Amino acid sequence: MRVTVLGSAASHAGAGEACSGHLVECDGGRVLFDCGNGVLSNLYKVADPYRLDAVFITHNHPDHYVDLYSMQAMLRYAPEGPLERMPLFMPTGLFQRMQGLLSERGAAQFREAFELTELRDREPVHIGAMTVTPYAVNHTEPTFALVAQADGVRLCYTADTAPGPWVVAAARGADLMLAEATLPEPYAGASPHMTAAQAGALALEAGAGRLVLVHVWPTNDRTRMAAVAQSAFAGPVTVARELDSFEVTRKGTPS
């Protein structure tokens, strides 16, 4: 399994960045986890965006889904003619919220482009050779961390979340954990997000093999973030940049 970070930024994108989006690929499955602003452009750089098997959205904050509006147009005018509807998994209530920016016709076109399914806590979804399991976490209601399993390895994407047992449950035994690390350290606890130190502590508690920090505040000092996370977690730590790509290998195996 391989994961490519298409957007590393939290809430708003700094220069050359995009908001949340991660391409997860295995032999026989290619899915997108979140589709924030700028993600579709970066997807074009690394893959054929028409060849996705499914899209998953973790929660109803715009930095995780706004490029779905663009993707809807992309799908509608596919160069090789109309496509099958793209499977789209998202939390209850998000489509209703998105309709607020769509005309009646636009909403109908959205439903023609995507096949919508609502995510349910801990109900696995099978996409080709990949299994994706959502875990409810503590952020806005509802928000799901996503766990992808294929090729004998396990990837956990925490989505946005406060630290706590809900996200430990999702991350337990992950060979690679993509963890949000939004908050500068002085803001720990100020909103339902994690700092780099909390993401490091989570990786330790969950027994993760490798930690990749994402959802980074654009002005935060990434070098310092890596050092702070590393002081809590002994495994490999990376603060992701756009288009960084990671092979998910079994915990303890050199990558």
| Residue ranges in contact with Zn ion by CB under 5 A | 61, 63, 160
Would you say 149 or 182 has its CB closer to Zn ion?
182
User: Omega before 186 cis (within 30°)?
Assistant: no
Would you say 61 or 210 has its CB closer to Zn ion?
61
Structure token pair of residue 186: 């002085």
Would you say 160 or 175 has its CB closer to Zn ion?
160
What phi and psi values does residue 58 have, to the nearest 5 degrees?
-80, -30
Separation CA 145–CA 119 (nearest Å)? 11
Would you say 5 or 26 has its CB closer to Zn ion?
5
Would you say 115 or 141 has its CB closer to Zn ion?
141
CB 97, min distance to Zn ion, A:
13
CB 144, min distance to Zn ion, A:
12
Would you say 61 or 154 has its CB closer to Zn ion?
61
CB 27, min distance to Zn ion, A:
30
Q: Three-state SS across the chain?
A: CEEEEEECECCCCCCCCCCCEEEEEECCEEEEECCCCCHHHHHHHHCCHHHCCEEECCCCCHHHCCHHHHHHHHHHCCCCCCCCCEEEEECCCHHHHHHHHCCHHHHHHHHHHEEEEECCCCCCEEECCEEEEEEEECCCCCEEEEEEEECCEEEEECCCCCCCHHHHHHHCCCCEEEEECCECHHHCCCCCCCEHHHHHHHHHHHCCCCEEEECECCCCCHHHHHHHHHHHCCCCEEECCCCCEEECCCCCCCC
CB 52, min distance to Zn ion, A:
21
CB 18, min distance to Zn ion, A:
12
CB 8, min distance to Zn ion, A:
11
Would you say 140 or 255 has its CB closer to Zn ion?
140
CB 142, min distance to Zn ion, A:
12
